Amino acid sequence: MEKRILIIEDEERMCHLLKLVLSKEGYSVKTARDGMEGMILWQMMKPDVVLTDLKMPGADGLEVLDFRNRQFQQVPLIILTAFGTVQSAVTAMKQGAYDYLTKPVDHNQLLDVIARAVADIQNQKGVSHICEPQTGQMIGSSSVMKKVYDDIALIGGIRMSVLITGESGTGKEMVAKAIHGHSGRPGSPFIRVNCAAIPRDLLESELFGHRRGAFTGAVHDREGAFILADGGTLLLDEIGDLPLDLQPKLLHAVEEKSVTPVGAAKARTVDVKIIAATNHNLEEMVENGLFRSDLYYRLNTFHLPLPPLRDRGRDLIEIVEYYLDRFCREQGHRSLTISAEALKLLHGYPWPGNVRELRNVLERVVLSCKNGTITTEMLPEKIRCRTPTKKGAAPPSFNLPSQEKQLIVAVLEQHDWNQSESARKLGISRNTLRYRMKKYDICRMQ
C-alpha cells in the first residue's frame, strides 16, 4: 500500500517541486498552503508522514507540530526551514519533530529521511498493537471516546448499576450493549425497555410481569423484563420518563433484587445488571420533584456520560468513512469519496441529532449520488446554508479564510466562548486563537 505524504508549504514553487519528487517515488502526496489548511487536510487524509514549512503566515510549523503532538503523536513530522532559522528547527525537534531539512532541499536527502520515517513507522507497528474493546459499531479514536471504551471495559464485569447520559443520537443503547458484551456471561439475555414509549398502564406489567386475571385483558401469565433479563442485563432506556408512581417499585426491585408480578402473591429473586439511560438532566428533575432522589442515587452507582458528536473532533471523519462504505455496499453502489468542501461543512454543522442524524444524512446522500464524489450541493440545505453567526446571513463562500472563521466561531460558541477550551478543541495555542479572533474581527455578540 502506497504511503501518504502531506506537504504544508506556502511557497508554491517549492510545494510543487517536492510533490513532483515524492510522487515519482510512488508516494501519494497532498499539499496545503498554510498551517490551518494543513491541519484540516491532515484529519481528512491521515498521512503517514508530514513535511511542514517552519515559517508561514497564519498558523506556522510550530503550531502544526503542537497539533501533531496533541492528536497524531505516531505520525513523523519533518520541518522544512531556511538556513537562518536552523535553531528554530532544532527547538522543534526537541518538541517532538522527527527531523528537519534546510532549504533548498536536497532531493536525495529528502528521500532518505522519508524512507527512514516510513521504516520507523513499520517497526513501531511490529512492536505493539493497541486493541480497543469490542464495542460493536462504535467508531472513533478521539480521547473522549477512548475514555468511554476504558469505562466500558472497567464496569462490564461488575454487577453495579450504570447510568448512561447523553444527547439523543449519541449511542446510549450501543454503549449499553457493549457493557453487556463485557459482562463475562456469553449468551446471557440483554433486554431493553423504553420507558417513554410504553403507556403507563402497561409499563408496570412490562417491567415486572403479571398473572392471569390481574386486570382486564390479562388472559395469560406474562413474564416481565426483570425476569426475562435474569442472569443478564436490563436496559431501562429513557429512564427520565418513568412515571413517579412506578419509581418506588423500581427502586425496590433494584435494591432487593426481587420483583413481584402484578397480581402475584410472592416475589421472585432475579440476578440482573441494571443499566439506565436518559437524555434528561436527572439532577434537575430531582430538584424539581420529578424524579426520586433515592432511585437516582441507586441507579447512578457508575455514571457514564457520552460526548455529543460536535465535541468528538476527528471522529466525524472516521464515522463518515464507515457509513459511506457501509451504505455503498448495502445499496450496491460503487465506492464514493467526499469533497473537502463537503467535509468542511459537515465539520461546521453542530449535529443536534448527533451520530444518528449524520448516519441518516449519509444514507440519503449515497442513495442520490450519481457520480463518484459527494459534493456540497448534495448535502441538505440546513447544512449547506447554516452560518454560526447571525440568523439570516448569507452562506459563507467556500474559501479557506471564510471556512477558518466559520470553524473558529462555531467552536467558540460550543464552548461558551471559553478561549482555553476552544483552542484545545481546535488543536492550536490560546495565543494563536486570540490572533485569529483579532484577524477576523471575531467577538462575542451580546
User: Measured between alpha carbons, how far is 36 from 305 in angstroms, rounded to an integer?
Assistant: 31
228 and 176 share one domain? yes
Domain CATH code at residue 333: 1.10.8.60
pLDDT digits (tens, 9 = 90+) for 384-395: 886 544 433 333
99 and 113 share one domain? yes
DSSP secondary structure letter of residue 445: -
What are residue 164's DSSP bridge partners?
Answer: 277, 304
349 and 366 share one domain? yes
- Residue identified by cell 421472585 is 268
pLDDT at position 55: 86
12 and 96 share one domain? yes
* pTM listed for this prediction: 0.59
291 and 177 share one domain? yes
pLDDT digits (tens, 9 = 90+) for 85-124: 566 766 777 778 888 888 888 888 899 889 888 877 766 5
Domain membership flag for residue 134: no
150 and 290 share one domain? yes
| Whether residue 62 has pLDDT greater than 60 | yes
Do the strands 49-53 and 268-269 form a parallel or antiparallel pair, or are they unpaired? unpaired
Q: Which of the listed residues 386, 419, 436 is the one where a domain comes to its end?
A: 386
291 and 405 share one domain? no
Domain membership flag for residue 439: yes
Range of the domain at 426: 390-446
pLDDT at position 125: 46
pLDDT band at 169; cut points 50, 70, 90: very high
360 and 401 share one domain? no
64 and 192 share one domain? no
DSSP secondary structure letter of residue 189: -
pLDDT at position 445: 63
Domain CATH code at residue 418: 1.10.10.60
Domain membership flag for residue 137: no
| Whether residue 146 has pLDDT greater than 50 | yes
239 and 182 share one domain? yes
Spell out where 190-232 has E strands: 190-194, 209-210, 222-223
253 and 371 share one domain? no
